[in-house]
Structure formats: structure tokens, C-alpha cells
Amino acid sequence: GQNIDQPTEMTATEGAIVQINCTYQTSGFNGLFWYQQHAGEAPTFLSYNVLDGLEEKGRFSSFLSRSKGYSYLLLKELQMTDSASYLCAVMDSNYQLIWGAGTKLIIKP
Amino acid sequence: DAGVTQSPTHLIKTRGQQVTLRCSPKSGHDTVSWYQQALGQGPQFIFQYYEEEERQRGNFPDRFSGHQFPNYSSELNVNALLLGDSALYLCASSFSGQGASNQPQHFGDGTRLSIL
């Protein structure tokens, strides 16, 4: 079967750095996406990785290792508004997105 | 440039009823995917429509059906509603042309469906 694993919840401090991990087992791989979802809102796109390595976008970076079936999302200089769920999704061989359950990130002052 | 729009935003139904949810994709997008998201869970893929045909389907019963119109908008129909169908229903649009595999899906704000 296909499986995406993420921690259920993480807590971090405003101004700090946090890393959210995602491991996956899917039928084929055509890229990995990270989305942010605030409570009661739709997911919004953060990043896409298809090749191994680090993609940096401002305060957010995403890393991929295809051989290990592993990705992480790195958030720097945390702000209170970064409190949200972070969803990892993998596009399988049928170009279908397989979603993790999301990691709820709580930012404390 | 309008993003993905969904209607209605909220809906309350009773068991056994039928419901139709609507979605207009982002301008330039030709593919619509529907997801069901229960509280505290990630989105679960229902199906995807492209060129007015169901292209892929997730593990949902036949009570869930859909349609795509020539203008790329889409409907999700659910028959014989069950209490367990209470969820946020998300529509996401994307482009299926060349180089589309790395294009993110753009989500609407969803329809929150409550079954009493």
C-alpha cells in the first residue's frame, strides 16, 4: 500500500527554527509537495521537490532524498502566524497525489 | 485572476438525502480533483476530472459521483448521505498540459458538509 508518515504535532518557539519530517512509500514517484493549512482554511502550496537536495524559498526550505523516501520542511525565524498544519503529499506513478495526515505546528511566544 | 471557487461554503443535510457541490477552477486550469478532509486528517482523494471524463478515482463508493462541464467547472454529487460523510470537501484545480507534473494543485476554500 501507499503510505505517508508525518509527526502528528510539533511545538516550537517564536523566532526559532523547526524541521518537519515526512517519510513515504508510494507506487512510483513524480514529486513531493508541501502545503500549509490554517484551521478552517484551504491548503496553500509551499514547495515542490522532484530531485534530491534542498529547495529554498525565503524562510521556508524543503529537502528531498528519493533513495531514503524522505523529505523535510524547514521553517526559519518562526512567526506566530506560522501556526498551522503542514501537509506532505507525494505524486505517484499515476500522477495522483497521496497525502499525509499533516503535522500541526504550534508556535509559542 | 480568480482562484478556485467552491459553493456553497456550508451545507447541512440529513441522512439519506443527496447533495451537489460545485467548483470553478482557476483560470487556465483544465483539471479538477475532489478531496474529502475529515477533521485532523489529510485530504482523501475522491476522483479527478479531465476533458469531461473521470480520469482517476480513489477508494470511495459509487454514492460519490461527479461531472465536469465544457468550461472545466465541476460538480460532486453524493447520494444516500451517511453521518460519516460529514467533512470538508475540497476542490483543487491544476493544468494537465506539457510539464504539468510539477505544477501544484490550487485549492478552493472548501464546502463544509454536516450530516444530521
For residue range A8-39, list pLDDT tens digits in order: 999 999 999 999 999 999 989 999 999 999 98
Tell whether B101 is within 8 A of chain A (Cβ).
yes
Q: What is the mean pLDDT of chain A?
A: 94
Q: Which residue of A has its CA nearest to B44?
A: A99
Q: For residues A63 and A54, is the Cβ–Cβ distance under 8 A?
A: yes
Q: Do A98 and B105 touch (CB under 8 A)?
A: no
- H helices of B24-91, where? none
Residues of B in contact with A4 (CB under 8 A): 42
The torsion angle over the Cα atoms of residues B97, B101, B102 and B108, rounded to 10 degrees, is 80
Length of chain A: 109
Q: CA-based angle A50:A64:A61, to the nearest 5?
A: 100
In 3D space, the residue among B12, B104, B89 whose CA is nearest the CA of residue B43 turns out to be: B89
- C-alpha distances in angstroms, B100 versus A95, B94, B95, B105, B107? 10, 8, 6, 10, 16
Taking contacts as CB-CB distances below 8 angstroms, the residues of chain B near A39 are none
The whole-number mean pLDDT for each consecutive block of 10 residues of chain B, a chain of 116 residues, reads 89 97 95 93 92 92 97 97 96 78 83 96
CA distance B68 to B51: 8
List, for residues A71-81, the tens digit of each pLDDT value: 999 999 999 99
Question: Count of CB contacts below 8 A, A vs B?
Answer: 52
Q: Which pLDDT does position B95 carry in this prediction? A: 86
Q: Which of A42, A96, A98 sits opposite B109 (nearest CB)?
A: A42
Which of chain A's residues have a Cβ under 8 Å away from the Cβ of B110? 42
Q: In 3-state terms, what secondary structure has residue B98?
A: coil
Would you state the cell numbers that stand for residue A109, as one nine-digit string? 511566544
Contact between residue B35 and residue B105 where contact means Cβ atoms under 8 Å apart: no
B37 vs chain A: nearest CA distance in angstroms?
10
